[in-house]
Structures are given as structure tokens and as C-alpha cells.
Amino acid sequence: MAKLASSDRRRSKDGGYPPIESAGYLVRDAHRAFQKLLEKRIAAYRITRGQWYFLRVLWIEDGLSQRELSARVGMMEPTTVIALRSMEKAGLIRRVRSSEDKRVANVRLTAKARRVREQMLLLARRINEDACQGLSREEFETFRRAITHMTGNLDRVMR
């Protein structure tokens, strides 16, 4: 695909920058729709969207430290502490002091959290299927490559 020059991009008649032309706006709009549907579907399991992010990571690698978990989820540590407290109260995780460094708390899933894993991941898969309705596999792959490329571009600019 050829690189788009700024002069080649569609311009509105008034010279403005309508949201429909903004990749950031479109991603945000899609993200909000995903989040809204996710919240609706996981509510029946008494799992919040904030808890979902942590569970998603812990289902891949259980026993991470709070710091590692914060980094992987992309949240500040104080926010993580608050979320983990609610997850402990809900019986989804337990924090265990590291035997190597007592200052470090490792986050472990409970049996309850492990039991809902397959159901939650099925819900997430269905949301993605709903979102991709009418797209071919090739169209999805083009989207995946494009959004991954855009994310990489932004990561490079931030360095």
C-alpha cells in the first residue's frame, strides 16, 4: 500500500478535521463500543471491566507481581492496588508474599477465577465475532496489520 501524503488525504469543505477522518477518533469510537458490550455481557458474572483486564493477563500468566501486572495491563500501580482489593473481595484473586522478597506480592487466581475463564473468553470471542460481522478473513487481516502498524508508529514517535 502506498504511503499517504498529507496532501492526498481527504479534506472537509471548510478545511476542518472531521472525526470520521481521524484514525484516533475511529479507534476510540470502536473501543468504546467494545467496552460497552463487554461490560454488559460480563455483568452477569459479577465481573467488572476493570477486573476483566487483570483476569485476562492472569489467565495467561498467573502469579505475576503487582508491579508486573500493572505494567502488562497498562495501569498505574495505585489503580492496580484498588482493583486488586475489589478482586480479592470478589474471591477472584489472592495476594501472596514472595518467598524471595517479602516486599513483593504475587497475584494468584482463585479456583473461582479459573472456573469462569472459558466462559469469559468465549464471551470475548463472540464480541469480536459480532464486531467483525460481514468482514472477510482477508479484510480482518488487513485491519490487524494496519492497526498494529499504526500502534508501532505511535510507539516509535513516543520514544
For 71-85, how does the pLDDT look when each residue is reduced to its tens digit (9 = 90+)? Answer: 999 999 999 999 999
Model-level pTM greater than 0.95? Answer: no
Predicted pLDDT at 5: 46
Domains of the chain with CATH codes:
25-45+116-159 (no CATH), 48-111 (1.10.10.10)
Predicted pLDDT at 102: 78
Predicted pLDDT at 81: 92
Rg (alpha carbons) of the chain, rounded to whole number: 20
